[in-house]
Structure 1
Amino acid sequence: MAIKVDPGCRYSKSHEWIRVTNDRAYIGITDYAQQQLSDIVYVEVPQIGDTFGQGEVFGVVESVKAATDCYLPVAGEILDVNHDLEDSPELVNKDPYGDGWFVKIMVEDPIELKDLMDAKDYEQYAQRDLEEATHK
């Protein structure tokens, strides 16, 4: 299975991506995560104005296979949510790094970005995760 990554993003070990421009950032789940979940049928996102710490649950993704929590890669305040996912959760499967984004945040502490992986490191991490899952 090919694992797609976006070189402009940083990645968490829980398979969320973040694309930062100045102090604003878009967040979603990775291509690897959506492949593992299979057909996504529901996405729960927070309210605009909610704030979360780094690593806190900010949403839920449900698929035909499982439901999983989504964790904020860095602390921040929710500025916008992708309302298109309410009627079209499959956008996460079709375009996880584009139209399938979940939330836009105001980054509270840019230093936290250093805790995240770049695209190359994440690709290797996801490949190891896949190999471990295959051998179980």
Structure 2
Amino acid sequence: MSELQYTAEHEWIAVDGDVATIGITAYAADKLGDVVYVDLPAAGSALTAGAVVGEIESTKSVGELFAPSDGEVVEANQAVIDDPSLVNSDPTGDGWMIRVRFTALPTLLSAEEYAALTAE
């Protein structure tokens, strides 16, 4: 798996061949607060770049998970659905959200570019 890349919508992406694992960043998880519910698309769902594909509810607010590219969901993380606190405790590990077989990846941010974005 490659090193993490990021979107301006506070998602991280790890690419392995034509499959991308997607989750929200530690920054986003921290801003949300304690995550209490996660709604994710089922395997086989078609994604359209920029569309809302999931919902993340916390004690503070409701956040949305966006599709970074066109593609098809190959797996949703059942562990996060069962235990949403994984999003807070391990956002870039066990707290991943979905795996997507993508058709083309968008332009993504490097770790340095994402750090600059969140420093503003």
Which TM-score tier does this pair reach, normalised by the shorter chain?
Answer: over 0.9
1:44 corresponding residue in structure 2: 39
2:111 aligned partner? 119
| Distance across 1 between alignment mates of 2:82 and 2:72 | 24
1:45-72 alpha-carbon deviations (Å, 9 max, x no partner) = 0011011111111100000000011101
Superposition pairs of residues 40-119 of structure 1, within 5 angstroms: 40-110=35-105, 112=106, 115-119=107-111
The corresponding residue for 2:4 is 9
Decide whether the 8 Å contact of 1:17 with 1:73 is kept in 2.
no
Q: Percent identity?
A: 38
Q: Give the root-mean-square deviation of aligned CA atoms.
A: 1.1
Stretches of structure 1 that go unaligned for 5 or more consecutive residues are 1-6, 129-136
Structure 2 counterpart of 1:105, which letter? V
AA aligned to 1:19 is: A
Q: Which has the larger radius of gyration?
A: 1
Aligned length: 119
Give unmatched runs, 5+ long, in structure 2.
Answer: none
Moved over 2 A (4+): none
User: Matched residues in 2 for 1:102 and 1:119: separation?
Assistant: 19
Q: Which has the higher helix share?
A: 1
Q: Which amino acid aligns with 1:104?
A: R
TM-score normalised by structure 1 residue count: 0.84
2:13 aligned to which of 3, 9, 18: 18
